[in-house]
Structure formats: structure tokens, C-alpha cells
Amino acid sequence: MSIYRIAHLSDPHLPPPPGAFGWKDVFTKRLLSRIAWRRKRKVHRPEVLAALVADLKAVGPDHVVISGDLTNFASHTEIAAARIWLESLGNPTDFTVSPGNHDALAGSAEVERFATWRPWLGDADETQFPQVRVRGPVAIFNLCSAVRTAPHLATGRLGEEQLSRLDALLCAPAYKGLFRLVTLHHPPQKGAVAKRKELEDQEQLRAILARRGADLVLHGHAHESLIGSVPGPNDAVIPVLGVASASSGPRGHSPARWHMIEIDDRPTSRHVRIVARGVEPGREGLSELGRYSLADISG
């Protein structure tokens, strides 16, 4: 019996470093985000994020998925500071980062803006999506739904090219028999977030998942822990899990937490258990909040 453990955290919203917002930014969408940060900085607490990271390191997962929104204004200064934070976590090959809408708030519209994070995006020596990382019994399909949007919108989009590549990759013989985990920032199911925050091409993504299948989808963006599902092939159900912001303090509507996905790969069967760890009101530090099986969702 072999258990492979993947940790999932999201939306850390790292504190903006000095110089993250300049005078030229008053003419961009960053101004609105700067105004919003005056309120949000009371919710996203660096000490909470530090405690969560310390808890995660103490548990020692085999791999970590971070599903976006490392930054707030997507400035070059923030992107660089986020890399320093990522380097502090450990070896880049043990982490997979899927960018979020705040990471693409303004600036270049090309995915090359994430070149600074390239070692954390996947194993390919280029900035592209999807990327696939095979770790133990798991194939991680990393998508990017981060795109620039108009003011007051936080929608995401994958685009035809990325969706077409995902369609081909999910049925590739190289990943047959592996636990296929899909990660992106925006939730793929209807109703998970308000319309102004939705994934614009979620129907196309669901159609691919219904045709090709997957074992689990992870996302962030909603700033709360969500359990959902999307249709898979032959009337199967694909579980979809979202997680609260990793830096959300007591004033947040959903306190910080992270999830451990424990994949028990046996010769004739596979069991997957989710262990939730996070901040519990009235208690110091992080603790286990509960555990359940993926069969409880897909069954």
C-alpha cells in the first residue's frame, strides 16, 4: 500500500511590497484594487498565512498545489516578491502554481508575464498551459484561467487553444491509469461564484471533462471551501473542491484552511481521502477540521 499526499492551498494574497503600486497605476485597474486592498488587508493577514505554511510543512505533503492569487495588483514588483515567497517554501518541483485573476489584473495580456514563476508552473522549460506534472500515481493538469478583465470584473477564461490541448492531454496514453488531477483558479461548476467572477468558458471545460474524464478538480477564487461536482463520462461524477483563502483571518467570512488529498493507490483499487486543516474560531493555531472520502461526493 502506498499513500501519496497532495496539499492544496489558494489565494494567499501576499502583502504588497514597497513599490507595488506606482503613480502610473492610477490610470489602470490597479487603482481599484489598491482602494479595495485598504479593506482587504484587514482580512488577509500575513501571520495567518505564515501559520498555515508552518502547519503544512510540519505535516510534510509530497506535493503542493497553489491555485492562484498570490498577488493583488499584478505589478512586476509583486510578481518578483511572490517568487521569493515561493522559493521560501521549498523545491519548485514539489509545487504547482496555477495563476489567478489578481495575478493578471493589469499589464501584459500574454501568459509570458508569468515567466518569473516558470519553475512552479510545470516541468516544461517554457511558459505555457496546460502543463502536466507526473508525481507518483498522479498526473497534475495545470490550467491558467487568469486573464485581464474590465473594471469590476473578476472573470476567467481558458481559451480555445488551451482547451484543445487539455482535450488531447486527458486522453493521452502516457497518463492512462494515473490519478488525473486538474487544477485552475476559477471554479468550473455553475453557481460557485457570482456571474462577474465566473469562468467564461466553463461550459466548454465541462464538455471536455464529460468526454475525457478526470478524477478530481481543484480551484480557488471563491475564498471559501466548496464541495461540488461536474459530469464525467458514462454518467460518472467528477468531484470539484475549492479551498478558502490561505491568509484569511478571523474577520474573513471563511477562515484560512488547506486541504490534504491522500491518494491510497492499491493494486486493485484506489481510495482518496480529504483532510481539512485550518483556523478554528476560539482555538490557537491550525488544527484538523474534518476528513471525508471522495467516494462521499462521487458516490
Closest CA to 166 of 79, 236, 98, 259: 98
CA-CA distance, 155 to 43, in Å (whole number)? 22
pLDDT of amino acid 214:
97
| Whether residue 25 has pLDDT greater than 80 | no
Confidence tier at 127 by pLDDT (50, 70, 90):
confident
Phi and psi at 286, nearest 5°, equal -110, 150
Q: What percent of the chain has pLDDT over 70?
A: 88
| Whether residue 140 has pLDDT greater than 70 | yes
pLDDT of amino acid 152:
79
Whole-angstrom Cα Rg for the chain? 18
Domain 2-298 has CATH 3.60.21.10: yes
Out of 5-9, 66-70, 247-251, which region has the weakest mean confidence (pLDDT)?
A: 247-251
pLDDT of amino acid 264:
93
More confident residue, 189 or 44: 189
In the chain, where are the structural domains located? 2-298
CA-CA distance, 145 to 32, in Å (whole number)? 21
More confident residue, 297 or 133: 133
- pLDDT digit string (tens) for 153-179? 899 999 999 999 999 999 999 999 999
Q: What is the mean pLDDT of residues 78-105?
A: 95
pLDDT of amino acid 27:
43
Closest CA to 186 of 138, 153, 212, 151: 153
Confidence tier at 229 by pLDDT (50, 70, 90):
very high
pLDDT of amino acid 23:
44
pTM for the predicted model, two decimal places: 0.93
Cβ–Cβ < 8 Å for 7, 63: yes
pLDDT of amino acid 73:
82
- pLDDT digit string (tens) for 193-209? 999 999 999 999 999 99
- pLDDT digit string (tens) for 100-118? 999 987 666 677 889 999 9
| Whether residue 40 has pLDDT greater than 80 | no
Q: What is the mean pLDDT of residues 26-46?
A: 64
